Structure 1
Amino acid sequence: MKSYLSLFRIRMINGLQYRAVAIGSILTRFCWGIMEILAFFAIHESGENFAMTFSQTASYIWMQQAFILMYNVIDNDQEIEASINNGSIAYQLALPMNLYGNWFTQCLANRLSPTMLNCLPVLILAMLIPAPYRLRLPDLNTVILFLVSTVLALDVVGAIAVLMHITMFYTISQRGMKIIGRAVVGFFAGGLIPLPYFPEIFQKVVSLLPFASTQSTPLLIYSGSLTGKDAVSAMGLQVFWIAVLITFGYYAMNHTLKRVVVQGG
């Protein structure tokens, strides 16, 4: 465990060094959030009744933009991808550390460090804009549930990311898998449109998938769309998917490594 904690700390420090990138990301997230909120405002002005109020939708979008780097399953683990492509994974296999635990720890740190730089400024800007477009502050119990659910969501994201990397052992290029993964996870996780805007039958099916546990669950808890027993049940589903994905990923990794051949020297 000390090895994993040390690796996590190293990756965090490395990620916190890119402050200029963080400034650009903050401006991007703020501008993108404004555009999304204005689009949903136009939809609500049509007079239709939706499962989410406009205020809840605005809070959902702002929190999504603040934590979007944490919810990103794809594109944050270039070193892992490079180690598979160039064969340097042989050095990782020589380390006295389980490869699955190594990758899982890196995936968590690679998402948490940029989020720490990006999150607070976006939230401050979101609270300064006028109502009804601003970020709404919920009660303390909701904040606690949201934070716990966010930690669980990060674990689900890390487990899915490792599975994505394992599939790269079987492909010549990871580009196709990344395109498919980005589209599937983004859509079914509520990354493009919040799930409550979809038909009820669609919501019931998608909410049971692991993708909804990545960002839809914590964001719906914060916005007030998931409360009470429904919120606790959704968090229980997050714990379930963490156990399933990590167990499956661990055995998939062990099976895959038996077939790995590294050429060169």
Structure 2
Amino acid sequence: MKAYMSVFKLRLSNGLQYRTAALAGIATQFFWGFVIIMVFEAFYSGATAQPPISLTQLITYVWLQQAFLAFVMLWFRDNELFQLITTGNIAYELCRPSGIYGLWYAKLLAQRLASALLRSLPIVTVAFILPQPYRMPLPSDPFTFLLFIASLILGLLMIVSLSMLMYISVFVTLSPAGSLLMFGVIGEFLAGMVIPVPLMPSWLQSIVYVLPFRWTADFPFRVYSGHIPKEEALVGIAIQLIWFLVLVGLGRLAMAKALSRVVVNGG
């Protein structure tokens, strides 16, 4: 654990240095946030039936999505890890006295955390002071906010576990682009990053609720907005913890199996 914490701190410190990139990302995320909200506002203005989620809750959903994008996006990648696998330099990782799974997990976790620390606070702060209907409201009470923080952290741990499965799949496919496309496109859609889960048709929701992806983004954001009641949120946090343990277990097994078949040629 000491080695993993050292790697985590080093990568976190390194990630916090990219402030210019963070400013560009903030501008981009504000642009997309306004565009998405305008689309939903137009959609709601012509609705003839009661929507499954209110416009205010949906606006909150969008701003949280933009603020914590680094926490929840599956296409967030570390090209260095892809190169280690595809070029054979994984041999150097195998020489380290620490497990590869824990080492890579610490790296990926620190990268996402550093990116979110630079971007989330400015976006959330501005979203709180925007004019209506673009303003994001505060949580209904402190307990709801604590539930949101707990679910967001568990969602982050889950998304890193899912990302680890993506990197492990490259040992088999040797195609980072293919693995990234498969996990990124499918995973983010099922997480509610394209269409919020409450707005999906019922048959698709039944599929989404079985899979782990929605627990990384959709669940924390709806907890904050109050769309998910506190009692249901407590049960959901327990389910998140179970999914996290399952994903880490699967990842470790998959990593061990992949490494047992690794062949590195050359000097």
Tell me the matched-pair count.
265
Find the counterpart in structure 2 of residue 9 from structure 1. 9
Amino acid at match of 1:38: M
C-alpha distance in 2 between matches for 1:128 and 1:80:
40
Q: 2:219 aligns with which of 217, 220, 226?
A: 217
| 1:73-84 matched pairs, under 5 angstroms | 73-84=74-85
1:7-55 Cα deviation digits (max 9, x unpaired) = 1001101111111100000000111100000100011101332111000
Find the counterpart in structure 1 of residue 189 from structure 2. 187
Decide whether the 8 Å contact of 2:144 with 2:230 is kept in 1: no
- TM-score (structure 1 length as normaliser): 0.97
Q: Does 1:151 align with 2:150?
A: no
Long gaps (5+) in structure 1: none
Q: How far apart are 1:241 and its partner, in Å?
A: 0.9
CA RMSD of aligned residues (A): 1.2
Decide whether the 8 Å contact of 1:70 with 1:112 is kept in 2: yes
Find the counterpart in structure 2 of residue 25 from structure 1. 25
Q: How far apart are 1:201 and its partner, in Å?
A: 4.2
Amino acid at match of 1:217: F
Decide whether the 8 Å contact of 1:72 with 1:111 is kept in 2: no
- Provide the secondary structure at the position in 1 that maps to 2:51: coil
C-alpha distance in 1 between matches for 2:27 and 2:265:
44
Amino acid at match of 2:240: Q
1:32-89 Cα deviation digits (max 9, x unpaired) = 1000001000111013321110000000000000001111222322221111122221
1:137-159 Cα deviation digits (max 9, x unpaired) = 01211110010001100110011
Q: Does 1:95 align with 2:89?
A: no
Find the counterpart in structure 2 of residue 233 from structure 1. 235
Misfit runs of 4+, over 3 Å: none
Q: Percentage identity across aligned positions?
A: 38
